[in-house]
């Protein structure tokens, strides 16, 4: 990538980009291709990323269970946690089926319309949950999104009664997700099984025991 292309992608001035590239080049993270007109990352950057991933205190230990859950359900399995008023995806293990839910690590999803978001909200005490929902921007993501506090609170209470939270096309149209909270020490995560609504609506009751087993196994392991 050329300096001008990189500056344009980053949305910064070419002079600032030039200083950044020079710093990364002198530190061994970039090398020149075709003279000094284009730069490319060295493997040092990849090795640092892999080292960070391998030393993650929780995710690396959770992933084998998530991958097994994916193989059992043949649907996409997501690990996420609350970050402010959103859910950040920490792991996305896509199912093998041609028609499946896809997303990417680092994606941010609203608390009120995502299955993991509802799982996080369900973990709060009732007064705290009601206060937080009253402060959220309950944006309509799809025609099915619950944008009024009272129906959303009732939906989360129903999820608490049955033992898992559900979204039916509320965050992404035609996608259904079931999720449960995962307590790891003092940290709270959520695991979601997500797939096409037409398939999940028929099969989700088969997946619930698998999700509960995965949660119990992980909580016992930490």
The lowest-confidence range among 24-38, 53-67, 140-154, 178-192 is 24-38
Residues 6+ apart with CB under 8 A from 30: 21, 24, 39, 40, 41, 42
The predicted structure's pLDDT at residue 134: 95
Q: Does 28 share its domain with 126?
A: no
* 175-184 sheet: strands from edge to edge: 108-110, 86-93, 76-83, 187-196, 175-184, 165-168
Q: Does 100 share its domain with 182?
A: yes
Among 26, 51, 76, where does a domain finish? 51
Q: Which residue range is the domain that position 186 belongs to?
A: 57-221
Task: Tell me the C-alpha distance between 79 and 140, whole Å.
Answer: 23
Residue 126, strand partner residues: none
Instruction: Work out the angle at residue 191's Cα, subtended by the Cα atoms of residues 188 and 195, and round it to the nearest 5 degrees.
Output: 155
Q: Does 62 share its domain with 8?
A: no
Q: Does 35 share its domain with 67?
A: no
Question: pLDDT tier at 104 (50, 70, 90 boundaries)?
Answer: very high
Q: Does 42 share its domain with 86?
A: no
Number of other residues whose CB lies within 10 A of the CB of residue 79: 24
pLDDT digits (tens, 9 = 90+) for 107-136: 999 999 999 999 999 999 999 999 999 999
Number of other residues whose CB lies within 10 A of the CB of residue 35: 6
Q: Does 107 share its domain with 217?
A: yes
Task: Tell me the C-alpha distance between 125 and 69, whole Å.
Answer: 29
Q: Does 40 share its domain with 108?
A: no
The predicted structure's pLDDT at residue 195: 98
């Amino acid at each position: 990538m050329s300096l001008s292309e990189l500056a344009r992608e980053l949305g910064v001035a070419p002079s600032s980009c030039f200083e950044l590239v020079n710093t990364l080049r002198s530190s061994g993270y970039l090398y020149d291709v075709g003279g000094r007109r284009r730069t490319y990352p060295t493997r040092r950057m990849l090795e640092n990323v892999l080292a960070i991933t391998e030393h993650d205190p929780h995710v690396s230990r959770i992933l084998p269970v998530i991958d097994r859950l994916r193989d059992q359900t043949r649907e996409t399995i997501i690990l996420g946690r609350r970050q402010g008023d959103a859910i950040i995806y920490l792991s996305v293990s896509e199912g093998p089926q041609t028609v499946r839910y896809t997303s990417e690590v680092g994606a941010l999803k609203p608390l009120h319309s995502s299955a993991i978001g509802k799982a996080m909200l369900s973990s709060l005490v009732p007064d705290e949950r009601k206060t937080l929902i009253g402060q959220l921007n309950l944006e309509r993501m799809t025609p099915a999104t619950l944008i009024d506090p009272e129906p959303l609170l009732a939906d989360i209470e129903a999820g608490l009664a049955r033992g898992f939270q559900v979204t039916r096309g509320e965050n992404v149209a035609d996608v259904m997700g079931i999720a449960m909270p995962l307590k790891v020490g003092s940290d709270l995560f959520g695991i979601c099984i997500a797939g096409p609504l037409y398939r999940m609506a028929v099969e989700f009751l088969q997946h619930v025991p698998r999700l509960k087993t995965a949660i119990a196994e992980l909580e016992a392991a930490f």
